[in-house]
Amino acid sequence: KIVDTVDFPIDRLDLSSYVLGPKFKEAPPIYKLFGVSEHTGSTANSGHYTATVRNSRDGKWYRYNDSHVGSTSGEAAVTGGAYLLFYQRVKGSLRWAGMEKQLTMVQQPQLYRQETYKISVEEDADGFREVRKKGRKKTPMDL
């Protein structure tokens, strides 16, 4: 097991230079860390797991170790025991990482043959159909 410390960003992981597809101002590929799973021990099959997590309500960091919880900092999670990192987009959200239109063009090219895109009201670009509320039959309980 490798126990080298990897320095990772806490408040700003900017992946802009690595994104090949379209980028949107409303949801830039910038992320903040909200959790780290940590492992201590000689192998992945044995040892002990803990977690350092940022509370979404108060923004403070907490360390979870079995039944014990204590205050900490995000920087305290940057150790050789950091095992999994959990990031959240800072602003906005995009389906399919911003590639929704491109994926649809590959999956359903017939929808994109014309200059203007016409999508059936019955089925959207992702192949989902609109659910319409149906009336239900009256039962004796309704009378």
Please write the tens of the pLDDT for every residue from 99-137.
666 666 655 655 544 444 444 445 666 666 665 555 555
Strand partners, 71: 62
Structure tokens at 2: 């490798």
Give 29-70 pLDDT, tens digit per residue.
Answer: 999 999 999 998 888 788 899 999 999 999 999 999 999 999
Cα–Cα nearest to 97, from 34, 23, 35: 23
Give 14-28 pLDDT, tens digit per residue.
Answer: 999 998 777 788 888
The DSSP output letter for 129 is B
Size (the chain), residues:
143
State how far the Cα of 52 lies from the Cα of 70, in Å rounded to an integer: 10
State how far the Cα of 16 lies from the Cα of 23, in Å rounded to an integer: 8
- Pair 128, 142: CB distance under 8 Å: no
CA angle 12–16–17, rounded 5-degree value: 120
- Pair 106, 127: CB distance under 8 Å: no
State how far the Cα of 92 lies from the Cα of 32, in Å rounded to an integer: 13
